[in-house]
Amino acid sequence: MFSKKRALAGVALATGAALALAGCAGGGATPEGEATFNPDEEVTLDLAFWGNDVRAELYDQVIAAFNEEYPNITVNSTFLAFPEFWEKRQTEAAGGNLPDVMQFDYSYLRQYSENGLLLDLEPYLGGIIETDPLPQNILDIGVVNDTTFAIPTSTNAWGMYTNPVLLEQAGVEDFPGGTWEDYNDWMAQVTEASGGQFYGGTDWTGRIQNFELQLRAEGKNLFDDNGEPGFDEERLTEFWEQGSDIRNGVVVPQQRLEEVNPLSGFDTALTASELTWDNFGAGYLGNLGEGYTELGLVAPPITEEGAKDLYLKPSMLHAIAANTDHPEAAATLVNFLINSPASGEIFGTNRGLPASETALEAAELDPLSQQIADYEASIEDRLGDAPPVPIIGYGTLEEKFRQLGTELAFGSITVEDAVSQFFAEMDVVLGQ
């Protein structure tokens, strides 16, 4: 059951492309899940994460707190920007020399685990790695082929941000909820009321996540564990045709979006709404700048009333390399990074709202983080199980979907041609 406290966990998106990796031999594990290393034995672990100097300083503080409790475990940490982080992991994976503990991205979880590069964490669950603070639906996020290979640090959910300043100027109330057709009508109302100064939103059919929401409402997923799609050409055609009536005058023109790229229409106050992951709020506020102290955050449109179409997605996870020489010590570090009150207090929401209730209780939430927490509590009835871990090559398909959505918005391609091109790309990716 998704508890009220658990409903406070949310934040951050993760993306990534597939890597060609060689499998590696695994490390050992103790069946009872309890630490077997000698507390007086000196152990050294390598920890790798992506981020910046601010996050690095926070990791240093958490490691210092960890060493107060485990003085015999030395942790050597390194960090890189996201693309460089995965380039280095690819090189290390090929040589069987991954760091003991890694901050991990959901998009790479299937590829690394199925290539034998990650340690099976099942023997440590409920022992070294505390599971009481992590509800089962959170733990299940790190499961591939019935085996736990990673633990989420934090989670987020799909939502809709709205711009209260623009809506006040237009004299239009916040989106009250409803169907996708209701959302189209609401955007049209905002666009007309603005007198051409801004638009109700963006063509939402360009995001594969909105397609996924509709499929989940129908009891399907984009892809199952075997990589089989949960849709055919007819269903994708139906989805993209839902944008036909809003591409001409209702949503922001694609050319305007190209002019402000890499910022979005919502970042630049060209649109009054944006469907996205709920962790994007801080970035939006920063880019909108002076005059913006808050945003609206409401649930996305409904495909079928009562459907469990929404789900929690990890902003990041922690995993252990199969090649580690110290699996128990590594599991001890993972547990501390995810569950300890010190971790929650020090990291706060830097990695997102903590997935662990013990860490979350220790974290100080700023107003936006509290708003996200309240939002996730409000959608509890729509939260279902997370979909299967992304297939190998999902990032490539997500980008192809976005590119075709852009061409549809420009009017340079027909829906029929877009569907044909996407299925051709899908055949290539799934056939690799």
Residue at which a domain ends, from 282, 301, 320: 301
Distance CA 430, CA 356 (A): 35
Q: What is the mean pLDDT of the chain?
A: 90
Is residue 1 in a domain?
no
Tokens coding 239 = 């989805």
Q: Which tokens in the block code for residue 417?
A: 């041609």
Per-residue pLDDT of the chain (432 residues; tens, 9 = 90+): 333 333 333 322 232 333 333 333 334 444 444 445 566 689 999 999 999 998 999 999 999 999 999 999 999 999 999 889 999 999 999 999 999 999 999 989 999 999 999 999 999 999 999 999 998 989 999 999 999 999 999 989 999 999 999 999 999 999 999 999 999 999 999 999 999 899 999 999 999 999 999 999 999 999 998 889 999 999 999 999 999 999 999 999 999 999 999 899 999 999 999 999 998 898 899 999 988 999 999 999 999 999 999 999 998 999 999 999 999 999 999 999 999 999 999 998 888 889 999 999 999 999 999 999 899 999 999 999 999 999 998 988 999 999 999 999 999 999 999 999 999 999 999 986
CATH of the domain at 85: 3.40.190.10
Same domain assignment for residues 72 and 189:
no
Query: Do 319 and 411 have their domain in common?
Result: no
Say if 123 falls within a structural domain: yes
Phi/psi region, residue 72 (left: phi>0; alpha: psi -120 to 50; beta: rest), is alpha
One domain for residues 171 and 292 = yes
Same-domain pairing of 281 and 228: no
Q: Is residue 282 part of a domain?
A: yes
Domain count for the chain: 3
In a domain? residue 12: yes
Looking at residue 38, what is its pLDDT?
A: 66
What is the model's pLDDT at position 36?
A: 54
Predicted TM-score (pTM) above 0.85:
no
Last residue of a domain, one of 382, 401, 416: 382
Residue 278 sits in the same domain as residue 164: yes
| Domain-embedded: residue 307 | no
Q: pLDDT digit string (tens) for 206-218?
A: 999 999 999 999 9
A 10 A CB-CB count for 55 gives 16
Residues 153 and 171 in one domain: no
Structural domain boundaries, residue 24: 6-157+312-382
Do 171 and 296 reside in the same domain of the chain?
yes
Q: Are 256 and 270 in contact (CB under 8 A)?
A: yes
Is 102 a member of any domain? Answer: yes
Q: What are the φ/ψ torsions at residue 26 (nearest 5 degrees)? A: -95, 160
CA angle 258, 222, 373 (to 5 degrees): 75
Task: Look at residue 202 in the predicted model and tell me its pLDDT.
Answer: 97
Residues 31 and 140 in one domain: yes
